[in-house]
Amino acid sequence: SVQLAESGGGSVQAGESLRLACTVSGLPLNARNVGWYRQVPGDACRWVSRIDRDGSLHYADSAKGRFAISQDNIKNAVYLEMRALKPEDTAVYYCAAGDMVGTWLGSCRAYPGNTWGQGTQVTVSS
């Protein structure tokens, strides 16, 4: 079965950086697009970035210029490098295999068609 596991979240001060990792098992990275999403309790699930099967990179406006997505085909992992973090970046971050972009009004992990990890908390203090 396909499984995704996030790591690397934590608590940082505004302006600092974090690197999130998504380890993928049961699925080669060239088989599906893999994206990062985030959700604050009570708010929508929001797409952050995606790396496609062909290696093309995509970012939401909130991530452009500050976040960078990459992958390691040997480790079968996808990373999200986040710099110049802001308090409004505080959320649970999820990785998922699938194509969702934009926003989803429900819980991220309830979005059909994506295979989700459990999430990792990122907290940015001012």
Sole residue written with tokens 């608590």: 11
pLDDT tens digit sequence for 46-91: 999 999 999 999 999 999 999 999 999 999 999 999 999 999 999 9
Q: Please give the biggest Cα pair distance in the chain.
A: 40
Q: Helix or strand or coil: residue 108?
A: helix
Is pLDDT at 30 greater than 90 in this prediction? no
The CA distance from 69 to 51, in Å, is 7
Taking all residues of the chain, what is their mean pLDDT, rounded to a whole number? 96
